[in-house]
Amino acid sequence: MTGPEERLNLVDEKGNIIGEETRENIHIKGLLHREVHVWLYTPGGGIIFQHRGSDKETFPNLLDASIGGHVGMGKDYEMAALQEAEEETGMKLDKGKLVLAKTSRVRAYDSLKNKINNVLRATYIYPYEGEVRDLRIEEGEAVGFEVWPLEKFMNPPEEEKQRVIPGLLEEAGVEIAEKVKELIAS
């Protein structure tokens, strides 16, 4: 089950599961839970954003990580990354190419929806060698994908920052871009 009544694990600061709650209540109360991001990168050094749909529970109509979602009950970060990739893009990721870039604690407030996303997030990067137009858009969740060159991803113009979930570029930008550069060079 997905949606507001979906139940998710609550975690402590160390990631230990301490309970469960509905997704709706988690975001209303700002309870700590787990989330995963996967940033797809192209051989030429582009970073692929997902353009969120206008009906999203939090941060509608903004650019987000290529793939992202909650870590479901009974799942770990890697399992969630693989599942979300298939749901949101139609891709079956090769676990051997999935690189954990970082784990972080993130708290973001969506003033439009009055919701709080308070998460422990595992962020992965993954090479994408196909055409962006071939990525399947998850119906009702996204409206498309957009590629930014690494330089723009690391140093976006102010007007472009407003199109992205607040704090996402600061939280991910430089570290993700540096890891992508390393992987492309190797």
Model confidence pLDDT, tens digit, residues 55-114: 887 889 999 999 999 999 999 999 999 999 999 999 999 999 999 999 999 998 888 889
User: What is the CATH code of the structural domain delimited by 7-185?
Assistant: 3.90.79.10
* Both tokens assigned to 116: 């709080």
Identify the CA nearest to 168 among candidates 91, 64, 46: 64
Measured CA to CA, the distance from residue 91 to residue 174 in angstroms comes to: 26
Please state the length of the chain: 186
pLDDT number for residue 129: 94
Q: What percent of the chain has pLDDT over 70?
A: 98
pLDDT number for residue 4: 64
Pairing of strands 46-52, 67-70: unpaired
Mean local confidence (pLDDT), 164-174: 81
According to DSSP, residue 165 is labeled -
Identify the CA nearest to 28 among candidates 117, 112, 108, 120: 117
pLDDT at 29 over 90: yes
Domain boundaries, the chain: 7-185
Residues 6+ apart with CB under 8 A from 61: 51, 52, 53, 54, 143
Please say whether the beta carbons of 66 and 39 come within 8 A. Answer: yes
Please say whether the beta carbons of 45 and 150 come within 8 A. Answer: yes
pLDDT number for residue 1: 53
